[in-house]
Structure formats: C-alpha cells, structure tokens
Amino acid sequence: MAAVGVVAVRVLPPRLRTRVDALRAVTLSAVASGPVVGAGVLTAVAQACRDEERLRFGYTARGSAPTEREVEPHRVVALGGRWYLVAAGTPDAFTGPA
C-alpha cells in the first residue's frame, strides 16, 4: 500500500506535491494499541447483530468489580484501531456489585 501512496504523490502537480510532502513529513500514524479481538469473537458478535440475538458477556470497567452484561446488539463499529459494540441493555443487563 505504501507504494501506491508514493505513486500518487509523484503524479500530483508540483505545487500540490510540496504541500503533500510537508504534510507527510510532520504527520504520524497512530498505531493501534490494546487488546486484540479474535476473528471468532467478532464473527459471533456480528452474527448476533444480524440475527437480532441477545449477547451475554463479562465486563470490567476500570477500577470496578467484574460484572456480567446482557445486551441486544445493534452494530459493530471499528474506530481508531478498536472495536465497539453498539447495543441496548436489557432490563436485567447489569448484574454484579452495585
């Protein structure tokens, strides 16, 4: 993919090429950090969204005790190198310490 970007810069008019070169010289790409989500988990979550099936999973918020959640999933979103689940909590969605 990097080669494609280099080729695209070469075909730009000189006035734009210098601007793009300046931008590339001072821009960093953020590398995703954090846990890796397995393909099997993403597939299961995507299928639950598509089939409108409830999901139950363990969840631990920072500084909190583990809880179990049950949700009605709507979408899976990839953003900034992380995966997010858009879902509605069921009435009994949050169990564990209050």
pLDDT at 20 over 50: yes
How much is the pTM? 0.57
pLDDT of residue 3: 46
H-helix or E-strand containing 8?
helix 2-10
Q: pLDDT tens digits for 62-85? A: 898 998 999 999 999 988 778 889
Long-range contacts of 54-62 (CB under 8 A, 24+ apart): 54/90, 55/85, 55/87
| 49 closest CA partner among 89, 85, 94 | 85
